[in-house]
Amino acid sequence: MGGVVGVCCGVRGFGHGVGDIGYGAAIRLPLIMGKLEEDEDDETDDLKLTQNAIKQEKKSFWAAVSLIIGTAVGPGMLGLPSATIRSGPLPSTIAILFSWVYVISSIILVAELSFATMEEDGVKEVSFTGLAIKAFGTHFGAFVSVVYASLSFALLVACVSGIGSIVSQWFPSLNNVVIHGIFPLFLGSIIWFFPFQIIDSTNRFLCFIMLVSIITLVGIGVSVARANLVRSLSCSSWHVFSILPAIPVTVLTLGFHVITPFICKVAGDSIEEARKAILIGGTVPLIMVLAWNLIVLGLAGTGKAQSSCIQGDPIKLLLSVTSSSLFAVQGFAFSALATSFIGYAVSFPKQLIDTLELIFRFSKSENELGSIESSGETRIADASDESILKGNAMAYIYKSRRKFRSSLPGGNMVLFLLFSIAVILSIWH
């Protein structure tokens, strides 16, 4: 009996000890949990700060604006008056404004498609390859992707060639290969090895040189052609064949479609920020083009005999009036080519990588299909089969864009109008 009592007392004592331990833990548990929550909050805050720092490092609204300005303003702007001389200042100004509206509208449409694709696929950057695949499927999308990749590469080559031609005038004793390679190699090294902040700073500095150069040219033109500027406004040709030649040249001069997907990556986290960057960055080249066009047409005079001298080269006309503008002309051409090179170079890798991946994936799938068919196996197609999508291209476009809504007014009519203008320009030019 005593043993039983002892055992019970022992069990009772043991239970009392456990109860004490549980009571102490119950007191200390909120303190421990609060400490853990504080640590988690600190880690969350640190993570948010890190994410914000990364976001700030990769997102820059004004970097996107400067890229647009630098890419849109090319040295071809200097030769634009040779296409507008036949119509005169007022008709050509209207043609330039309408061309700018088309350029900005089509670029905003590309930006909206880019953001829609980024949200749908959960990626931070897309290329024209991704957009083409979404719209046309693998087969025709591959063709469109190769076309855009070739266009981007051709633009890079044109910039390298133009920069080399200008540098050769400054250093005529240097080897031609060295001249054409040294500056693109320098810019390429900055783009490849340095962070985007350095690339942005370099691009902004070159944009500043470009703006100073064009302001200098416009100032020289105003001082020289002050008497002819007002008189030239009264002489205009509203004939359609006098106005139309300026439109494709203006579209090419003000366009920056190739870098639009990269602009969507840099400008911000919403389409509103990208749209704002496109409008601001696209307005600056418009003002420059309008000012330059009016100044050169004023220098050329208003008569048909005088217009023949500008149709050859507006730069020669300006230099024939005053040779002091040569340095400003070279500065503008060099900075315009350099900023265009930067814009094309930062957007080209994504386009190239996506295009090569698509080609390799397409060739691999074709090889696998051939091996399956040669083995006599039956291949069952499902709803996601690309061969089905290829046969129903319009259904595929509708399916992929069923949630897409454009901010452009006019709906499908505006989209059809933009498409028609693009087809006409591609055939005409």
Looking at the 3D structure of the chain, how many domains does it have?
1
- Largest pairwise CA distance in the chain: 135
Where in the sequence is the domain holding 348, given as residue range(s)? 62-362
pLDDT of residue 375: 45
CA distance 389 to 387: 5
The domain that holds 340 is classified in CATH as: 1.10.4160.10
In a domain, 400, yes or no: no
pLDDT of residue 7: 35
pLDDT of residue 239: 83
pLDDT of residue 380: 33
CA distance 230 to 317: 19
CA distance 260 to 402: 22
In a domain, 70, yes or no: yes
In a domain, 371, yes or no: no
In a domain, 410, yes or no: no
pLDDT of residue 278: 94
pLDDT per residue as tens, the chain (429 positions):
444 334 333 433 434 443 443 434 444 444 444 544 555 555 555 444 444 444 444 678 999 999 999 999 877 788 888 888 888 888 999 999 999 999 999 899 889 888 888 888 788 888 888 888 877 777 787 888 888 888 888 888 888 888 888 888 888 888 878 888 887 788 878 888 888 889 999 999 999 999 999 998 888 888 877 767 777 777 778 888 888 888 888 888 888 888 999 999 998 888 899 999 999 999 999 999 998 888 888 777 644 434 445 555 677 777 766 777 788 888 888 898 899 999 998 988 888 888 888 878 766 765 555 554 444 443 333 333 443 333 337 334 544 454 556 667 766 777 778 778 877 877 766
In a domain, 395, yes or no: no
pLDDT of residue 148: 83
Environment class of residue 311 by beta-carbon count within 10 Å: exposed (0-12), middle (13-18) or buried (19+)?
middle
pLDDT of residue 180: 80
In a domain, 203, yes or no: yes
pLDDT of residue 204: 94
The encoded tokens of residue 50 equal 């890190």
In a domain, 296, yes or no: yes
Q: What is the rounded end-to-end Cα distance, in angstroms, of the chain? A: 113
The encoded tokens of residue 218 equal 């416009």
**Is there a contact between 228 and 297 (Cβ–Cβ < 8 Å)?**
no
pLDDT of residue 9: 38
pLDDT of residue 10: 42
Q: How many CA atoms are closer than 13 Å to the CA of 142, on its beta-carbon side?
A: 12
Look-up: residue for tokens 């901010």?
407
CA 177, distance to chain mean position in Å, is 30
Listing DSSP states for 219-279 in one string gives HHHHHHSHHHHHHHHT-----HHHHTTHHHHHHHHH--GGGHHHHHHHH-SSHHHHHHHHH
In a domain, 401, yes or no: no
